[in-house]
Amino acid sequence: MSEPVKLLIIESGEDWRAWLRRHVEVVWHAAQFTELSPEQAARLPGEFGGADFDVVVLTLEANRALGLTWLREYAGRRGFPPVIAVGVEGDEALAVQAMRAGAQNYLPRERLRHDGLIAALREALAERRTRGAQPEAAGGAAVPVMKGWRLVRELHASALSRVSLACSEETGEQRVFKSFNMAGADVATGVLFDRFLREYQSIAGVDHANVVRIFDLGVADDHAWIAMEYLAGGTLASRISRGRLTPGEALTAVRELARGLAAVHAVGILHRDLKPANVMLREDGSLVLIDFGLAREMQGRAGMTSPGMIFGTPWYMSPEQGHGGAVDERSDCYSLGVMFYEMLTGSRPFSAPTPMALIYQHRNALRPQLPAELADFEPLVHRMMAANPADRFESVRHVLAALGE
């Protein structure tokens, strides 16, 4: 039997704590809860590491300054559980502050419902398992970053890579370092290391406002890393989790992402893993494409993602990619269409209990209708999401033209 889910809840109000317990226990019957007020949490010992908990739920309404201070103090510590911050709807400044302080997700209490809460908790639990599986570097130290940069905190970790935030000791500028543990990779075939290097090579030469900026690459005996810009606004996935976008916001988002994709496609690169989690926001709200770990050159160079191999995320994957077929720009266009649907409606167009069932739906199911008030967008969304590539826009530039560019 698996271990029960253990939650630390930091909230003053008993009614809210009871609501949270009820909804969690519907899914995790044996869940264990530890409940503290913000004042009690502030008095935790300095060495508190959170190892006894799987997820922390922290509310930031009654005493946001105290909650943010607590978040900055603990969330960046190695091994600390993911933190879900709960705050006020429409308070984008608070959301950004919470994400910058180390929260994995930010949820507005006014919009919080059972499905959204459980989805956020499942994501946090998956992140906790990933962090738990990450081996320590030699001597328990963090993977080194570029000389002259100081490690601030770890943002993400998996069995083979880490993403860390670092600060320039000279200027105070912040950058993200993605480190790859070559010792844990399949060095004999070079596949994983090749994928890491291709991520850098694919986008380092692309200078576009909607594509993440890559600054440098380093390689050592046992690890390699890339340095990229720090994007403080969180992911598009987190933004959607707080409620669907207005039609105007969704149109702006699709235009920005299409422009970024057009710049990437222009140098012969496909993204191949386009999804809200791989789109981040700058502080000014503009959208940025990240994580080109699955990118490949379209001109037929031998690569690790040849036809017959499936990479990507089934929720957003084109039918041809899901079935291991050859892909081109229209595959990224399909994924963008799925994201457009989700931004407009707040939900994904297809849902199924297994990845293969999702892949089947992308190819065979009818395209879902949009709500009546969004009917004007339906022809555009359906053409982007056409099951047959021949029925889609030929490229994202054609999508931009259809949007009035």
Residue located via tokens 């440098």:
216
| 137-187 pLDDT, tens digit each | 433 344 455 677 888 887 776 666 678 888 888 888 889 988 776 664 544
Residue 387 inside a domain? The answer is yes
Same structural domain, 224 and 247: no
Span of 64-68, 309-313, 359-363 with lowest mean pLDDT: 309-313
Residue 1 inside a domain? The answer is no
Domain end point (choices 133, 155, 179): 133
Same structural domain, 103 and 168: no
Residue 282 inside a domain? The answer is yes
Same structural domain, 211 and 249: no
Total tally of structural domains belonging to the chain: 3
Please indicate whether residue 314 or residue 143 has the higher confidence score (pLDDT): 314
The confidence score (pLDDT) of residue 303 equals 37
Query: How many C-beta atoms lie closer than 10 Å to residue 155's C-beta?
Result: 16
Average pLDDT of 59-77?
82
Rounded Cα distance, 235 and 23, in Å: 25
Same structural domain, 211 and 349: no
Average pLDDT of 215-231?
79
Q: Which amino acid is at 358?
A: L
73 in Cβ contact with 47 (< 8 Å): no
- For residue 148, the enclosing domain spans 138-229
- Active centre residues (catalytic): 273
User: Got the DSSP string for 239-277?
Assistant: HHHT-PPPHHHHHHHHHHHHHHHHHHHHTTEE----SGG
Residue 48 inside a domain? The answer is yes
CATH number at residue 173: 3.30.200.20
In this prediction, residue 222 has a pLDDT band, given cuts at 50, 70 and 90, of low
Same structural domain, 87 and 164: no
Per DSSP, the three-state class of 210 is: coil
| 87-122 pLDDT, tens digit each | 887 777 888 888 888 888 888 888 888 888 998 898
| 337-378 pLDDT, tens digit each | 999 999 999 999 998 888 888 899 999 999 999 999 999 999
Same structural domain, 161 and 101: no
Residue 287 DSSP code: E
